[in-house]
Amino acid sequence: MVAYQPYAMGRMKFIWGDDAEEFKPERWLDENGIFQPKNPFKFTAFQVSKVFLWTGKEFAYRQMRIFSAVLLGCFRFKLNDEKKNVTYKTMITLHIDGGLDIKALHRD
């Protein structure tokens, strides 16, 4: 079996720089705040190859943006236990160790 770890690949300093482990969405934004796609081989979620680019990628991105906007516009989310230290299990897919209990609070 051949597998790769997107979680690990997304934190490789030789690909992303010394701050690879920091959450920095501005990495993909230009000076005007517009999304600027980088090399598609860096972001492996859509299994890009020279021969094949997943045709549903743009639809998936659009659907995610709409769903996120509606969800975050209607609710705010809080951890049930705000003192709990959230840790991850690095496996073929990334898991939150012990799960992540949250509550959704309706926005007024």
Q: What is the pLDDT of residues 13-47, one digit of tens each?
A: 888 889 988 888 888 788 898 887 766 666 666 56
- Residue 11 domain-assigned (yes or no): yes
Note if the pTM is more than 0.85: no
User: Looking at the 3D structure of the chain, how many domains does it have?
Assistant: 1
Task: List the one residue out of 90, 108, 86 whose CA is nearest residue 99.
Answer: 86
- The residue range of the domain holding 19 is 1-54
Q: Has residue 1 been placed in a domain?
A: yes
Length of the chain: 108
Q: Which of 11-15, 21-25, 56-60, 61-65 has the highest mean pLDDT?
A: 61-65
Rounded distance between C-alpha atoms, residue 71 and residue 77, angstroms: 10
Residue whose pair of structure tokens reads 């999304």 in the numeric block:
35
Report which listed range, 40-44, 48-52, 89-93, 104-108, is most confident: 104-108
